[in-house]
Amino acid sequence: MQQDNGAPQITVLDAGGQYCHLIARKIRDLGVSAEVRPSDTPASELRGRRGIVISGGPASVYDSGSPRIDPAILDLPGTAVLGICYGLHLMAHELGGGVRLGDKGEYGTAVLHTARPHPILAGLNGETRVWMSHRDLVETPPRGFEILAATEECPVAVMAHSERPLIGVQFHPEVVHTEHGQDIYANFLFGICGCTKDWDPRGRIPRVEQDIVRIAGSRNIFFFVSGGVDSTVAYTLCLRALGPERVYGVYVDTGLMREGETDFVHGVFSRLGATAFHVEDAAAGFLAALEGVTEPELKRKRIGEEFVAVQERILSSGNFLDGHWILGQGTIYPDTIESGGTAHADLIKTHHNRVDGIQKLIDSGRIVEPLSSFYKDEVREIGRELGIPEPFLTRHPFPGPGLAIRCLCAERDEPATRVDDGWILPVHSVGVQGDSRSYRKVLLAPGSPTDAGIHSLATRLINNSREYNRVVVDCSGWPPETPLTISRSSITAERLHRLRCADAIVRELSAASGFDRQVWQFPVILIPAGTPARPDSVVLRPVHSVDGMTAESVAMPPSLLDEMRRRVLEIDGVCTMLFDLTHKPPGTIEWE
C-alpha cells in the first residue's frame, strides 16, 4: 500500500543525471513506489517520505547555477537520504565537506574496496565491481561522516553519517554493470528507510492503452514506423487500443537502411494485421539533405528535418491534416533523457524524434508516444505480453537515423598523430563522461582485441586523457607500415554501400555463430581512415547492455573475428578493420 497521504515512499530528486529515471525504475522493480521530482523541490513537499535519492548530474557543485537541493531535506524527520555521484557531492558541499576536480576522471568499471561495515553495504564482500562516471570527487567528508569504501582513483566512494540516515555513493548502483547495485538499493529501501512493498510493475498494458485512448480521443493515429522493436511495440499497442481501422502506418525508406530492411519491415507489419500500411521511397531526398554535412549534430538535425518534411508531404497528400489525425511514435525514455529532456540534463546527442519540427507537433498536442516512460528492456517485456514473437523482440536495436550515424565524416584531410600510447586518429566521436557530452578524438592503441586485459587497459587510457574518449585496436596486426590518414569526406552512396556490405557480413556471421545472442547490440561503423586507394576503415562495436544507458564492450571469439576481418577487407575501398574497446560511459554505444 502507498502511504496514507497517497504519496510514494521514495522520491528521486533529478539533478540532471542520465540515469535519474533508471533509479526510480530500479526502486519500483523492488516493489516500492517511487517518483521523480526536480532537485530543488521544497522539503515541505517531501514530508512523510521514507527516503529521498539525489541523482547524479553533469554539473559541478562549485559552479554557479549548478543544481541545488533544499538543505532542509537533510533534516526531515524519519526520512533517509542517499546521494549518488553528483548527489554525493551536493550532500558533502551542503554539509561543509570539500569537493574538488579530480586529477583524472574515472569512467566505467572500478573495484570498490570496503573499509568498514554499514547497512548500505550489507551482503557485499570486501571487493565488488561498480560503475563510475565522474571527474569531481569528495576530498574531505563533512563533520560526522565516515568513509566506508574507496576505489583506486576515488578516496571517498561511499560515506555515511555516524548518527543520521545520510549516505552518499560515488558510483551508480542503478546500472546493470554495478554487480551488487540492486542489493544496495534493497539495503537502502528495506534496511535503512523501512519501506514496505507497495508497487506491482505488472499490468502496464491496460494503463498504456487507456492513455492512448485518452490522448487520441476521436482522432485516428498516423504512424511512421521503422521496423525496430520500439516503433513496432508502440504501433501494436495503438492497434489494440483503437483497432486497425484507426491506425495508419507508413515506413519511410530513407536509403540509409540495412540490406534487406524494407522487405523485412513490410513482412513484419503484414503479420501484425496492419491493414493500412505503405512504403514511401524517400532515399533521394535524404541523401541530398546530407550532402557535404560532416558534424554529427547537424547530421541528426538534417535527418530529423527531412523526416518532418516527408511526414508533412505524406500528411498533406491525404486527409491527415484535417484535425482527425495525430502522430504516433515509438520514442522511449533514453531518447528524451539523452536529448537533454529534463531540467538539468546535458545534451548527449539529438535524437531524430526530438528535433524542432517534432517538438512543434508535441507542443500542439498532435502526438502520442506510448513508450516514452519505458526503457528498452521494459519495451521488450511489454512486447512479450502483447504476444509479439520472441525472435523479433530480441532483435538488436537499430538507430532511427539509420546508417547515417554509423558513417562518420571529416571536414579535412589530416594524418594520425603518434603519441606514447598509440596513434591519435583525428576523427571525432560522441561520448558521455560525468553525465556530460564529450566530442573527442579516437586513440588507436597497439595490441589485439583478443589480448588479455585489453579492455581494462582501454579504460585506464581514457581515464588518463582529455584528448580522446574512445580506444580502438587494429584486428589485422599493429603497427601498419603506413599510418592511417583521415580523409575529407561526407555521406555518399558509395560510402553507404561500403558500410551496408560490411554490416551485412557482420550480421550474417554473428547469426551463424550464435554470437548475436551473446550481445545486446553490434553496431558496425565506417570511419574515413585509410589510404588514398582504400580511404575507409570498418569498426566493430559489440556491446552488452540491458537498457542502453550503460554498456560494456564485449570480446569476440578469435575465429569469428578472423573470418569477419577476411571478408570485410574484401570490400572495395576498405583499408582495415578496427575493434572498439570502449565501455559506455565514457563512449556512447553509437559513435554519433
Model confidence pLDDT, tens digit, residues 385-436: 888 888 788 888 888 789 999 999 999 999 999 999 999 999 999 888 766 7
| CA–CA dist 380, 385 (Å, integer) | 9
Q: Which set of grid coordinates corresponds to residue 74?
A: 537533510
Query: CB neighbours (10 Å) of residue 4?
Result: 7
Q: State in words which class domain 204-402 has.
A: alpha beta
- Residue 510 near residue 269, CB atoms below 8 Å: no
Among residues 85, 154, 193, 195, the one annotated as catalytic is: 85
d(CA 449, CA 541): 11
139 is catalytic: no
What count of other Cβ atoms lies within 10 Å of the Cβ of residue 425? 28
| Residue 559 confidence (pLDDT) | 97
Q: At the topology level of CATH, where does 10-192 sit?
A: Rossmann fold (3.40.50)
C-alpha 311/C-alpha 249 separation (Å) is 12
Q: What stretch(es) of the chain map to CATH 3.40.50.880?
A: 10-192
- For residues 350 and 308, give the distance between their C-alpha atoms in angstroms, rounded to a whole number: 15
Span 341-381, pLDDT tens digits = 455 555 544 444 544 555 666 677 788 999 987 777 778 88
Domain with CATH 3.40.50.620 in the chain: 204-402
Q: Nearest to residue 383, comparing CAs of 398, 401, 370?
A: 370
Please identify every stretch of the chain with a pLDDT value under 50, giving residue numbers as ranges: 1-2, 4, 338, 340-341, 348-352, 354-355
All three cell numbers of 79, joined, read: 526520512
* CATH 3.30.300.10 residue ranges for the chain: 407-580
179 catalytically annotated: no
CA max distance for the chain: 73
What is the C-alpha R_g of the chain? 24
575 is catalytic: no
- CATH class belonging to 407-580: alpha beta
Q: Which of 94, 106, 153, 174 is catalytic?
A: 174
Write down the catalytic residue from 89, 93, 161, 172: 172
